Amino acid sequence: MKKYFAEFFGTFWLVFGGCGSAVLAAGIPELGIGYMGVAFAFGLTVLTMAYAVGHISGGHFNPAVSIGLFVGGRFNAKDLVPYIASQVLGAIAAAAILYLIASGAPGFDVTAGFASNGYGEHSPHGYSLVAALLIEVVLTAFFLIIIMGATDKRAPAGFAPIAIGLSLALIHLISIPVTNTSVNPARSTGVALFQGSWAIEQLWLFWVAPIVGAVIGALAYRFISEEK
């Protein structure tokens, strides 16, 4: 159970810190942190919690990562469903607290987006479904390659959280304008449930694309890293 609680708290921190920075701090005129600040907030959440609880659960904080690591031979099938459940519950709990905080500001409108992921008219810059699908698949695939490489027994010990956290920040720097960046079905689910309309209708893509990308990335890393 300690592993599952670690995944709950890690995913909570990811959603609260990353989506919280987008909802509370990104849009303030002149003083807001903007896309770059949100990108680094997401990266920092993973970096800090990987050091805090990664030694307990492995620090997945993402259903796509858990599935990818299973496909890559790094994760036990018996823990897959409990990990995903813990991650989704952590994301929902974080979104709930973020909603309570954000609703304390005058003029707050959760239906405006609430850091949800979207495509088409709900993409930050109007990118199509195909563009959203491609970028989520490609970026999640590379995220898995980085995770598996950084945690390989042949990699320098102790530096994996830095590489993984910085890679997530880079992923957000690339794709916030396209989809608001998911690469994480739990993160997408937590805020979508509170947005309550189009975010739920488009949520399927932010489960399918990251999982497909994670499987591709895991298989690619297994191929290039196999020792003969």
Q: Give the range among 28-32, 129-133, 148-152, 207-211 with minimum mean pLDDT.
A: 28-32
pLDDT digits (tens, 9 = 90+) for 18-38: 999 999 999 887 788 999 999
* Calpha distance 213→135 (Å, rounded): 9
pLDDT digits (tens, 9 = 90+) for 46-60: 999 999 999 999 999
pTM for this entry: 0.95
216: Cβ contacts below 8 Å, ≥ 6 apart: 137, 141, 144
Question: Which one-letter amino acid corresponds to residue 217?
Answer: G
**Residue 89: its pLDDT value, please?**
98
Q: Has residue 8 got a pLDDT over 70?
A: yes
Q: Has residue 213 got a pLDDT over 80?
A: yes
Q: Has residue 17 got a pLDDT over 70?
A: yes
Per the CB < 8 A criterion, the answer to whether 100 and 194 are in contact is no
Q: Which two tokens stand for residue 58?
A: 């492995």
pLDDT digits (tens, 9 = 90+) for 85-133: 999 999 999 999 999 999 999 989 999 999 999 999 999 999 999 999 9
**Residue ranges per structural domain of the chain:** 1-225
* CATH 1.20.1080.10, applies to 1-225: yes
**Residue 228: its pLDDT value, please?**
59
* Calpha distance 210→205 (Å, rounded): 8
